[in-house]
Amino acid sequence: MTDKWRKTWLDDLECERYGSLLYSRAIGELPEMESSKAVAARLRSVAKPGDQILDAGCGAGHYLRSLSNNLPFEFQYTGVDATPRFIELARQAFASFSDADFEIGDINALPFADASYDLVMSNNVLLHLPSIQKPLQELCRVARRYVLVRTLVGERSFRIQDVHGSGDEFDETGEPIEFHYYNIYSKPYIEYLLANIPFVKSWQIVPDQAFDETRIAEAATEQSDAPDVTTMLGGWQLNGYILQPWSFIEVEIAR
**From first to last of its 255 residues, what are the pLDDT tens digits of the chain?**
457 676 666 666 677 888 898 999 999 999 898 899 999 999 999 999 999 999 999 999 999 999 999 999 999 999 999 999 999 999 999 999 999 999 999 999 999 999 999 999 999 999 999 999 999 999 999 999 999 999 999 999 999 999 988 888 999 999 998 898 999 999 999 999 999 999 999 999 999 987 777 877 776 666 656 556 788 888 888 888 889 999 999 999 998
Task: Give the per-residue pLDDT at 115.
Answer: 98
Q: Report if residue 117 sits inside a domain.
A: yes
Q: Report if residue 11 sits inside a domain.
A: yes
| CA distance readout (Å), 150 to 122, 124, 160, 173, 250 | 7, 6, 17, 34, 9
Task: Give the per-residue pLDDT at 230.
Answer: 82
Task: Give the per-residue pLDDT at 8.
Answer: 63
- Residues 100, 77: contact at Cβ < 8 Å? yes
For residue 148, give the nearest of 245, 46, 79 by alpha carbon: 46
Following CA atoms 125, 16, 41, 236 in sequence, which dihedral angle do they give, to the nearest 10 degrees? -70
Q: Report if residue 217 sits inside a domain.
A: no
Q: Report if residue 79 sits inside a domain.
A: yes
Domains in the chain, number: 1
For residue 122, give the nearest of 148, 140, 101, 144 by alpha carbon: 148
Which pTM was predicted?
0.92
- Residues 239, 230: contact at Cβ < 8 Å? yes
**Phi, psi for 162 (deg, rounded to 5):** -90, 105
Q: Which domain holds residue 47?
A: 4-210+247-253
In angstroms, rounded to a whole number, what is the distance separating the alpha carbons of residues 73 and 157?
A: 39
- For CA atoms 139, 127, 71, 76, the dihedral sign is positive
Task: Give the per-residue pLDDT at 92.
Answer: 97
Q: Report if residue 240 sits inside a domain.
A: no
For residue 74, give the nearest of 95, 53, 91, 101 by alpha carbon: 53
Q: Report if residue 85 sits inside a domain.
A: yes
CA gyration radius, the chain: 18
Whichever domain contains 184, its CATH number is 3.40.50.150
Q: Report if residue 228 sits inside a domain.
A: no
Q: Report if residue 178 sits inside a domain.
A: yes
Alpha helices for the chain (secondary structure H): 7-10, 12-27, 34-44, 62-70, 84-93, 133-141, 187-195, 213-222
What is the DSSP secondary structure assignment for residue 33, as one 8-state letter? P
In angstroms, rounded to a whole number, what is the distance separating the alpha carbons of residues 58 and 19?
A: 11
